[in-house]
């Protein structure tokens, strides 16, 4: 596919794209009005057309992270950039309204925020005219040909960081991307890949080999609030849960909650007072999941209700509290994996020394999962019945629970350091206040073992 064909297809699909954006922004606005914890996303739809009125500070470092996980992964980077040069403005854009909520509510440093403009020359150029960034950092698989082309034409350095290419995306790019993806990758200054497999795929897609470095996954450098476990212990004590076995099913998808409930029923045959904290992945499904658990003793977080003695399921239908639920739980199941979605981030429970469980569908994060599988730091289950059996074993065997939690945490700790390596790679484009020792080190093309 050529850039001209790509632009023609986008214009052809423009009514559907605009309608989808309108619906998403309208839903986000309604949720912000109904839930005082959520922040309004200013000029949500206008920004997608490059018409955010601003004003913006120019000369910023612009970081783009599409959704929740990617946004959380760049918080340590934003914090480091701010510490090194607090006078340089930071701009963070989002590609989803859920990611925008993460940015607006939880970013640890001051930022300029807006939704990213659609990848057409008009919206892209309007935004660049207004922002005039000094550096652009695109996170993971955010390859937008028109944006990359516009930055190249304007002489704005653009780097693809924490890059990963899922197998499904790789095949699609090979089949349909052609010169379009190759040229976009050539336009980058450097590419920081997560794992060797990502580096190899990027090179096969046309990225110059000398530009692509394997620096690790920024999510391994996740900063954990030291008071998180204290809050979790306090929450359990306040709700008389100190002696109950609690497991969390996090980031679950459609058709997966039923499987979690089936596993919980199996667990309760041996551990009758076990409590399931159910955390759906997408906020627009909260009401649907609430209906699903309505026929059993349950409580709902957004209603400010706390678990009672007979509560079987606690629906955590709020945004930004996932780390609390991981800290509260004795065992964590990471969703999107017992249905064919492809898995979600397994690092967060690992940092908290929790046994990590997952289904067999982890193709979106295969390199990450493989590193945990090699260290026996994750347990895979194929069915709700098997999940229920594993949960029962862990509920009744605290020493096994502790061992699995320790293995997960140690696997996580062995793979940290991506942030430091990334800052070294970025040094030529950053303000002069970065430490000289960091500027002098050269990034390596590979790090750690092959996953």
Task: Using alpha carbons, list the distances in angstroms from residue 58 to 61, 376, 426.
Answer: 9, 48, 19
Distance CA 427, CA 61 (A): 13
3-state class (DSSP) for residue 240: coil
Length in residues, the chain: 451
Q: Which helix (H) or strand (E) holds 138?
A: strand 135-139
Contacts of 212 (CB under 8 A, 6+ apart): 190, 191, 193, 199, 202, 203, 445
Classify residue 101 by burial, with Cβ atoms within 10 Å: 0-12, 13-18, 19+: buried
C-alpha span between 153 and 45 (Å, rounded): 26
- Residue 267 · residue 391 · CB < 8 Å: yes
Provide the 10 A C-beta neighbour count for residue 314.
Answer: 26
- Concerning whether 70 is annotated as a catalytic residue, the answer is yes
Cα of first residue to Cα of last residue in the chain, in angstroms, is 32
Cβ-contact 314, 215 below 8 angstroms: no
Task: Quote the distance between the C-alpha of residue 266 and its chain's center.
Answer: 31
Q: Do 154 and 161 meet the contact criterion of CB atoms below 8 Å apart?
A: no
Tell which residue, 293, 308, 306, has the closest CA to residue 249. Answer: 293
Q: What b-and-e string marks burial along 38-71, b requiring 16 or more CB atoms within 10 Å of the CB?
A: bbebebbbebbbbbbeeebeeebbbbbbbbbbbb
Q: Please choose, from the candidates 106, 107, 93, 115, the residue with its C-alpha nearest in 3D space to the C-alpha of residue 28.
A: 115
Which member of 70, 142, 189, 256 is catalytic?
70
Q: What is the set of active-site residues?
A: 70
């Amino acid at each position: 596919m050529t850039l001209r064909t790509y632009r023609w297809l986008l214009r052809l699909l423009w009514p559907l794209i605009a309608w989808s954006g309108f619906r998403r922004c309208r839903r986000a606005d309604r949720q912000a009005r109904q839930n005082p914890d959520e922040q309004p996303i200013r000029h949500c739809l206008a920004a997608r057309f490059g018409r955010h009125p601003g004003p913006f500070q120019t000369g910023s470092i612009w970081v783009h992270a599409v959704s929740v996980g990617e946004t959380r992964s760049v918080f340590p980077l934003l914090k480091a950039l701010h510490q090194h040069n607090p006078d340089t403005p930071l701009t963070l854009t989002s590609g989803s309204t859920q990611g925008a909520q993460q940015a607006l509510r939880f970013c640890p440093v001051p930022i300029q925020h807006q939704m990213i403009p659609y990848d057409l020359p008009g919206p892209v150029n309007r935004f660049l005219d207004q922002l005039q960034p000094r550096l652009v950092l695109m996170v993971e698989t955010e390859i937008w040909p028109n944006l990359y082309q516009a930055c190249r034409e304007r002489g704005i350095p653009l780097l693809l960081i924490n890059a990963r290419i899922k197998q499904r995306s790789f095949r699609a790019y090979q089949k349909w991307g052609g010169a379009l993806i190759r040229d976009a990758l050539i336009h980058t200054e450097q590419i920081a890949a997560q794992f060797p497999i990502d580096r190899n795929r990027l090179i096969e897609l046309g990225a110059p080999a000398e530009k692509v470095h394997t620096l690790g996954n920024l999510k391994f450098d996740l900063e954990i609030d030291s008071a998180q476990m204290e809050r979790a212990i306090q929450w359990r004590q306040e709700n008389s849960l100190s002696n109950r076995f609690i497991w969390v099913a996090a980031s679950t998808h459609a058709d997966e909650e039923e499987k979690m409930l089936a596993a919980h029923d199996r667990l309760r045959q041996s551990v009758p007072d076990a409590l399931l904290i159910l955390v759906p992945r997408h906020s627009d499904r909260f009401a649907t999941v609430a209906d699903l658990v309505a026929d059993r003793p349950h409580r709902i977080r957004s209603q400010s209700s706390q678990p009672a003695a007979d509560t079987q399921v606690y629906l955590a239908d709020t945004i930004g509290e996932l780390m609390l639920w991981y800290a509260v739980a004795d065992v964590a199941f990471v969703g999107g994996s017992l249905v064919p979605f492809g898995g979600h981030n397994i690092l967060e429970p690992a940092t908290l020394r929790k046994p990590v469980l997952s289904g067999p569908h982890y193709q979106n994060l295969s390199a990450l999962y493989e590193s945990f599988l090699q260290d026996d730091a994750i347990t895979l289950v194929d069915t709700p019945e098997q999940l229920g059996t594993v949960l029962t074993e862990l509920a009744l065997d605290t020493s096994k629970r502790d061992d699995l939690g320790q293995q997960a945490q140690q696997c996580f700790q062995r793979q940290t350091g991506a942030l430091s390596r990334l800052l070294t790679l970025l040094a030529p484009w950053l303000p002069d206040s970065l430490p000289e020792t960091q500027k002098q080190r050269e990034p390596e093309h590979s790090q750690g073992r092959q996953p």
